Amino acid sequence: MDPPNPRTGFALAAFKNRKCLVTIVLFWSFLAAYTFLFHGALYTRVTWSKISGTLEHSVVGLQIQNDTAPNMISATEEDDIQIHGWDYDGKSADTEERDVADEEIELLPLEPLHEEFLAGRATVFLLRIQKAASSTLDVMFSTDVSMTECEPNMRALEGLEGETCNRLFNLLHYAEYDPENCQGMAAWDDPAWQNMDCISWIFSYSYVAKYHSFTAPIRARIQRTFQRARLVSGHFSYGLHSIGHRGTFAYVTTLRHPVSRVVSWWNWNIQTGKLSPVVPPAGNATFDEFVWDDDFRFGGFQTSNHMTRVLCNRETGVQLEDGASAEERLVEGDTPRALLAEVTREHYECALRNLRSFALVFVAENMSDVKPLAPVVSRLFNMKEIVGPLEDTVINPTTLDDASTGLVVRSHNLSEATAARLADLNRWDALLYEEEGKLHKISVARLKKWGSSEQA
């Protein structure tokens, strides 16, 4: 007797559903086993990011949570973190990450990123915010002209003997190309400079806009340099990677309390004498005028939510009437505050979203947590030079002579009205700084964890 035919739409469907269910269970079991073995994770979220540029690379983002991983604490001053691992204190780096994360934070996973740098398929962008421990990043990544990480180092082109202006330096440093007024041609046709893999010093917040204003040959020259670069450092706005990079890219930055940062920026420019030559009347201006006068002609871009503007870089620059030229819309440090677009919650959320996609984010006031980890950072990004643990000293401090005493400002001595005005001008930066504290803790914990696993 022939077996009964399966009931249409029931037994056969159930059979197919069971096969589907078994397949799904096997897939997730395999994924869970892989995650547990290789990442010590109980929860993994995989995201694929399509990276812009001439080369495309898919980055797998892993959000890791775990209560059972080895515990790691900060290295002491005596620890040589190139040799010793961290002790156990009953609380893991993974747990630290979870404790400080109120919302889902997607900093780039370090191990896949490290593999890309080992393979020469990645570029790190050091977004160095002025007067926010940016010089510490400069030393940590050995991009100073006195160091050997970047050879050739474009800083060597500044102030060459016999040249008043070097064309290649101006192009890469400021994104400016003016053959008539900048005629120094040293290094322009040198193959070593055409194949440089490190852009050590950029200083322009409108770099990308300037780049798009150039003729095709000049754009191509800049783009080739960016596509070859494994490291790009300087004072610039988020989005510089759109010009070019290796297969994938990662950002690193530091933030500082906004009021302290503005005060430090003012004092730094007094120390370096930059106020008087640029705007003569400003040389004798008081800090209160700098803060209260929206038309103050020096440093306006620095006084109002500067970190949010730089980290979002979407409609946070000059706001002019329709029909204004592209050049008029460029924003730099000297742009008066009165010309700047108002920063809103949308810009703050944009900046925070970008910040949460970085590889490492640090708080300037807590760089003592990071300085001992300098060798770990060097190995993570496959630097040519392994930097030793940095001494717990201030790098590139603002020091003022007696002649500047009358212009010196201290955060704790601000008048109540001026302090309130600065707080109002930087309310979105203050919120960003508060969130950034969480990212600092996560970044330090992840560095310790990665450094420990690498030495195992």
Q: What is the DSSP letter of 337?
A: G
Helix axes 427-455, 416-425, angle to 10 degrees: 70
Whole-angstrom CA distances from 97 to 37, 63, 125 are 20, 10, 24
Dihedral sign computed on CA atoms, order 177, 183, 184, 185: positive
Measure the CA–CA gap between 384 and 36, rounded to whole angstroms: 33
Measure the CA–CA gap between 123 and 118, rounded to whole angstroms: 11
Measure the CA–CA gap between 308 and 431, rounded to whole angstroms: 10
217: three-class secondary structure by DSSP = helix
- Residues in the chain with pLDDT < 50? 1-18, 34-103, 323-326, 328, 402, 405
pLDDT of residue 74: 28
Strands 360-363 and 58-62 come out as: unpaired
Sheet holding 360-363, edge to edge: 198-203, 231-235, 122-127, 248-255, 360-363
Give CA 447 to chain center in angstroms. 16
Nearest one of 155, 160, 170 to 222, comparing CA atoms:
170
pLDDT of residue 321: 55
Nearest one of 447, 307, 446, 439 to 371, comparing CA atoms:
447
CA atoms within 13 A on the CB side of 22: 6
Nearest one of 341, 312, 311, 309 to 324, comparing CA atoms:
341
Measure the CA–CA gap between 100 and 403, rounded to whole angstroms: 45
What is the set of domains in the chain, with CATH numbers? 11-100 (no CATH), 110-150+196-455 (3.40.50)
Nearest one of 376, 348, 366 to 440, comparing CA atoms:
366
pLDDT of residue 354: 97
Whole-number mean pLDDT of the chain?
Answer: 77
Query: CA 254, 259, 264 angle in degrees (round to 5)?
Result: 70
pLDDT of residue 410: 77
pLDDT of residue 36: 44
Instruction: State the distance between the two ends of the chain, measured CA to CA, in whole angstroms.
Output: 67
